[in-house]
Structure 1
Amino acid sequence: MRSVASAVVATLLVVLVGACQPPVKTVVVVGVTATANEPAIALTTKGKDTLHEAITQGETRVVIFRSGSPMSVFDKDLTVRRGRDQENNAQRVEDGFAAKLESVQSSLRTAADTTGQLDLFGLLVQLSHVPDARKLLVYSSGLQTTGMLNLLPAGSDFDVDRTLAALPGKSLPDLAGKKVVFAGLGQVAGPQRALPEEMRRNVERLWLGVCRKAGADECSIDPESVAAGGPSGTKPVPTVAVPEVGSSVVPKGDGVKEVTIPAAVFFLPNSADLQPGAANALRGLTGLFGRGATATAVGHTATWGPLPGAQDLSLARSRRVVEALIGFGVARAVFTSVTGVGFRPVIEPDVDARGQLIPAAAERNRVVVLTIHNLRNEESS
């Protein structure tokens, strides 16, 4: 009898202790930069699945932050309830989820930046301060325009590893214990020109690196499109300079042609290695060299970093272009001079009165310029 009584008491204690435990509550935080250079946001499939899992498993609070003031544009308990109690009927939970999801979607579509800058880093810091948040859904193009990770000066030529190494640990958000999903990285709208594929991948690498350096339990990229129409933000935001794809050929008269080869399209960032597909584009230039032609190649950079390093990079890119053209059949003897001048001189001024780099001008300075001299009667058509 004593053993039976003990078992009953033990069972009652387990029930009572369980009843005293507070219900498990999931806090999902959604962050959006939502600038005039990005599409209006729609939850991706992964985002919807994250909310579905939380809402159908128990109590759920969802918070949406954007750049601006106030930052919080949505903060609600989205638990599906019957009266004051949590709903346990599976079908009613599913029906309730559909309505809850629409309220989140509506807030995302209309969220808009009010700062005039794209500050994903600052947004991550804000998201990290939400108590009990374990899941962060971050929707942004990732083209930071302010602060330590400002991409405007370097443009498409930014170096991911160097940028991450220079980021002081004490400035990082505390993402320990959190799972972070980035969506929309590299996806742009409005006046921001679309990114070359290599630059888009580097933007992804940059933010994954920030996330890992900040100690998150899990960092991942959601590649699905986030676009739900044109930008919801209306306040102008600086654009990160991205050159048009391809080279430009300008006749200079007397059988002379000047060919401008933009570094951001043809080369990997801060490198003399060619982008995928760039070699084929260079092959297309071989028809500009007539019989008896001569040519020079000059590499240029923006006014960025130490001059010796800029000169070395510009020379390496100039040589790489020439090597590729020789490989495609242009005679080595055609090239009478292959040099790299860095930013001395620049093609056009790219620093303003405050000493800040002018992004669009900087991109136009990051080039290799071929000057091709053909005999008039031998000039290629």
Structure 2
Amino acid sequence: MTSRTAGLLSVLLAAALAAGCSSGEDAAGGGFSGGAGGALSCPVPVGPLAFAVSGRANSPEPGLPQAVQDATVSVLTRAVDEGYEPRVTLVNVDGRPVSAGSETFSSDAGNGIAAEDDRNQFLNGFGEAVTGLRAQTPEIDVLTALDLAGRSAGGNRPGTVVLVDSGLSTVAPLDFRQRGLLDAPPAETVEALRANNALPGLQGETVVLAGLGDVAEPQPALSPAQRSSLVALWTAIATAGGASCVAVVDEPRGGDAPSDAPAVSVVDVPPPPTITPGQTTALPDDNSVGFQPDTAEFRDRNAARAVLTPFAQFLTESPSRRIALTGTSARAGTEAGQVDLSTRRAEAVKALLVELGAPADRISTRGVGSRFPGYVNDVGPDGRQLPGPASANRTVIVEPSG
């Protein structure tokens, strides 16, 4: 974005925030409306507000979920009662996030009705600024946008940061185009960001996450397990960044992406594992059939049962069929430790197959650690593990025969 474009956007936002477009009974204009959006799981303090919102490709058109609108109305209403003037900032989430502008809300109204009119006028202008927001730079850097919003909401009072985006960032150091990153354990990714001093600054702030995992074409949709992983990751990032409380808005966002926004790369979304007789299948390290870090305990045993049921059925359909299970691992720790962990994970898959009715004597297991064809380098130049490739290397390979 050029400085002139950023300046124009800031001026337009400031004008919208200051002037609004209507008041009184027309308070629903600009995308704000009254309604029961449901209470957030975090208390929202009377303090600065920063909204990081994307009007970009591959994500639905910008807007605020009802729960976020209700919380914003509450903050401005209480601010008048307390004689506080909160600063409201809008951050444009794209490949190079910038502040689209900010304005301080104040009211010198002498009675409640007039104060409500001032509040609605302000919100109408802000709502129109939100829905009219458009990305200016290709790709999407959600991490930097969250940090910029965190700094914008700082001050002598605890502030609130609202992120409205699918969360599928495509800019390093959090680029979901990197194989395996979508499935990597959140704690592992957080530690990698911490090591690179890349965690957002959210000290003491309330963080509200909305629209995570909600995408628009051509971005393929996420499965429930993949969306759950994404929500868990961004919650962990906000917490590690110092947030006092993190609320996730489950209200889904839908619709098409803006047609007048720069391109954003599509993030590959691996399909759920399926079995094809005679073909090898690698069970991914994800929320459907993956394991807790450094253990042979399934992340979600019920989800793993659903994935493995077709494998068990494959074995029971013919006495000549067999399955070989090979556990693989990331290159972490000693080679003996890698082999041990990958063996125990292969044994855990076998145990669950047997529980599902598969004959144990037709299932073989072994662990090879990180020494296997197709290993992806998961150690960076500094010797630290790379979360995405490490996750991609943690599999149990199923080789059916017969």
Q: TM-score, normalised by structure 2?
A: 0.68
Q: 1:326 deviation in Å?
A: 1.7
CA contact 1:40–1:232 (8 Å) conserved in 2? no
- In the alignment, which residue of structure 1 is the partner of 2:37? none
Q: Cα–Cα, structure 1 residues 310 and 188, in superposed 2: closer, same or farther, change >3 Å?
A: farther
- In the alignment, which residue of structure 1 is the partner of 2:235? 208
- In the alignment, which residue of structure 1 is the partner of 2:23? none
Question: 1:146 aligned to 2:171?
Answer: yes
Aligned partner (choices 136, 139, 161) of residue 136 of structure 1: 161
Give the percent of matched residue pairs that are identical in Structure 1 and Structure 2.
23
Higher normalized strand content (fraction of residues): 1
Q: 1:169 deviation in Å?
A: 9.2
Which digits, 9 at most, give the CA deviation of each residue in 1:135-194, with x for residues without a partner?
Answer: 222223333443444443432331222333341496544433432222223333334443
Q: Cα–Cα, structure 1 residues 70 and 287, in superposed 2: closer, same or farther, change >3 Å?
A: closer
- In the alignment, which residue of structure 1 is the partner of 2:51? 30
Unaligned 5+ runs, structure 1? 1-24, 81-85, 252-256, 375-381
Q: Secondary structure at the match of 1:295?
A: strand
- In the alignment, which residue of structure 2 is the partner of 1:55? 76
Aligned partner (choices 317, 322, 346) of residue 318 of structure 1: 346
Q: 2:391 and 2:261 mapped to 1: Cα distance?
A: 25
Question: 1:267 aligned to 2:287?
Answer: no
Q: 2:184 and 2:370 mapped to 1: Cα distance?
A: 16
Aligned partner (choices 172, 177, 181) of residue 208 of structure 2: 181
CA contact 1:185–1:200 (8 Å) conserved in 2? yes
287-296 or 208-217: bigger deviation: 208-217
Question: 1:278 aligned to 2:304?
Answer: yes
Question: 1:105 aligned to 2:131?
Answer: no
Q: 1:233 deviation in Å?
A: 7.5
Q: 2:123 and 2:398 mapped to 1: Cα distance?
A: 56
Question: 1:161 aligned to 2:187?
Answer: yes
Q: 2:281 and 2:200 mapped to 1: Cα distance?
A: 46
277-286 or 227-236: bigger deviation: 227-236
Q: Across the two proteins, how many residue pairs are aligned to each other?
A: 335
Q: 1:70 and 1:284 mapped to 2: Cα distance?
A: 45
Q: 1:338 deviation in Å?
A: 1.6
Q: Secondary structure at the match of 1:324?
A: helix
Letter aligned with residue 313 of structure 2: G
Letter aligned with residue 136 of structure 1: V
Q: Cα–Cα, structure 1 residues 315 and 65, in superposed 2: closer, same or farther, change >3 Å?
A: same
CA contact 1:39–1:229 (8 Å) conserved in 2? yes
Q: Secondary structure at the match of 2:48?
A: strand
Unaligned 5+ runs, structure 2? 1-45
- In the alignment, which residue of structure 1 is the partner of 2:91? 65
Which digits, 9 at most, give the CA deviation of each residue in 1:48-88, with x for residues without a partner?
Answer: 123212333434432100235671224234445xxxxx224
Q: Cα–Cα, structure 1 residues 297 and 214, in superposed 2: closer, same or farther, change >3 Å?
A: closer
Q: 2:292 and 2:166 mapped to 1: Cα distance?
A: 18
Q: TM-score, normalised by structure 1?
A: 0.71
Q: Cα–Cα, structure 1 residues 54 and 332, in superposed 2: closer, same or farther, change >3 Å?
A: closer
- In the alignment, which residue of structure 2 is the partner of 1:370? 398
Q: 2:253 and 2:181 mapped to 1: Cα distance?
A: 23
CA contact 1:250–1:259 (8 Å) conserved in 2? no
CA contact 1:33–1:120 (8 Å) conserved in 2? no
Q: 2:310 and 2:352 mapped to 1: Cα distance?
A: 11
Q: 1:334 deviation in Å?
A: 0.9
Q: Cα–Cα, structure 1 residues 30 and 294, in superposed 2: closer, same or farther, change >3 Å?
A: closer
CA contact 1:33–1:140 (8 Å) conserved in 2? yes
Q: How does 1:281-320 map to 2 (within 5 A)?
A: 281-289=307-315, 290-300=318-328, 308=335, 311-320=339-348
